[in-house]
Amino acid sequence: MSHEYEQVDVPENGSTIDVDENDELVVPDDPIIPIIHGDGIGTDVGPAAQKVLNAAAEATGREINWMRVYAGESARDKYGENLPDDTVEAMKQFRVSIKGPLTTPVGAGFRSLNVALRKKLDLYANVRPTYHLDGVPSPVKEPEKMDMVNFRENTEDVYAGIEFEAGTDEVQQVREFVEGEMGFDSTIHDGPVGIGIKSITEFGTKRLVRRAIEYAIENNRDSVTLIHKGNIMKFTEGAFRDWGYELAEEEYPEQTIDEDTLWEEYDGEAPEDVVVVKDRIADNMLQQLLTRTEQYDVLAMPNLNGDYLSDAAGAQIGGLGIAPGANLGEGRVLAEPVHGSAPKYAGQDKVNPSAIILSGRLMLEQLGWEDAALLVRDAVEAQISSGEVTYDIERQIDGGEKLATSEFADGIIEHIERLS
Q: Is 283 a catalytic residue?
A: yes
| Position 107 pLDDT exceeds 60 | no
Q: Is the CB of residue 414 less than 8 Å from the CB of residue 401?
A: no
Please report the pLDDT score of residue 19 as a whole number. Answer: 95
Rounded average pLDDT over 332-347: 93
Catalytic-role residue among 44, 157, 279, 307: 307
The burial class, CB within 10 Å (0-12 / 13-18 / 19+), for 137 is middle
Q: Is 350 annotated as a binding residue?
A: no
Nearest to 87 by CA among 5, 154, 162, 12: 5
Domain 1-137+318-420 has CATH 3.40.718.10: yes
pLDDT attached to residue 344: 93
Task: Report percent pLDDT > 90 for the chain.
Answer: 85
Fold of 139-151+200-317: Isopropylmalate Dehydrogenase (3.40.718)
Q: Do domains 1-137+318-420 and 139-151+200-317 have the same CATH topology?
A: yes
What count of other Cβ atoms lies within 10 Å of the Cβ of residue 371? 14
- Percentage of the chain beyond pLDDT 70 is 97
The response to whether 128 counts as a known ligand-binding position is yes
- What is the average pLDDT score of the chain? 93
pLDDT at 6 (0 to 100) = 85
Q: Do residues 386 and 402 make contact, with C-beta atoms less than 8 angstroms apart?
A: no
Q: Is 339 labelled as part of a ligand binding site?
A: yes
User: 304: buried, middle or exposed (CB in 10 Å: 19+, 13-18, 0-12)?
Assistant: middle
pLDDT digits (tens, 9 = 90+) for 356-381: 999 999 999 999 999 999 999 999 99
Identify whether 229 is a catalytic site residue. Answer: yes
Of residues 124, 159, 252, 296, which has the active-site annotation?
Answer: 159
- Residue 39 annotated among the catalytic residues of the structure: no
Q: Is 352 annotated as a binding residue?
A: yes
- Does the pLDDT at position 293 exceed 80? yes
Confidence of residue 188 (pLDDT cuts 50, 70, 90): confident
Is the pLDDT assigned to residue 4 strictly greater than 90? no
Annotated catalytic residue: which of 99, 206, 229, 296? 229
361 annotated to bind ligand? no
User: Does 152 appear as a known binding residue?
Assistant: yes
Q: Is 307 annotated as a binding residue?
A: yes
Q: Report pTM.
A: 0.92
**Catalytic (active site) residue 296:** no
Say what the pLDDT of residue 320 is.
82
Would the annotation count 118 as a binding residue? yes
- 47 carries a ligand binding annotation: no
* Secondary structure string (H, E, C) spanning the chain: CCCCCCCCCCCCCCECCEECCCCCEECCCCEEEEEECCCCCHHHHHHHHHHHHHHHHHHCCCCCEEEECCCCHHHHHHHCCCCCHHHHHHHHHHCEEEECCCCCCCCCCCCCHHHHHHHHCCCCEEEEEEECCCCCCCCCCCHHHCEEEEEEECCCEEEEEEEECCCCHHHHHHHHHHHHHCCCCCCCCCCCCCEEEEECCHHHHHHHHHHHHHHHHHCCCCEEEEEECCCCCCCCHHHHHHHHHHHHHHHCCCCEEEHHHHHHHHCCCCCCCCEEEEEEEHHHHHHHHHHCHHHCCEEEECHHHHHHHHHHHHHHCCCHHHCCCEEEECCEEEECCCCCCCHHHCCCCCCCCHHHHHHHHHHHHHHCCHHHHHHHHHHHHHHHHCCEECHHHHCCCCCCEECCHHHHHHHHHHHHHHHC
> Is 124 annotated as contributing to ligand binding?
no
| The one-letter amino acid at 90 | A
pLDDT over 60 (residue 250): yes
Q: Provide the residue ranges of all domains of the chain, joining segments of one domain with +.
A: 1-137+318-420, 139-151+200-317, 157-199
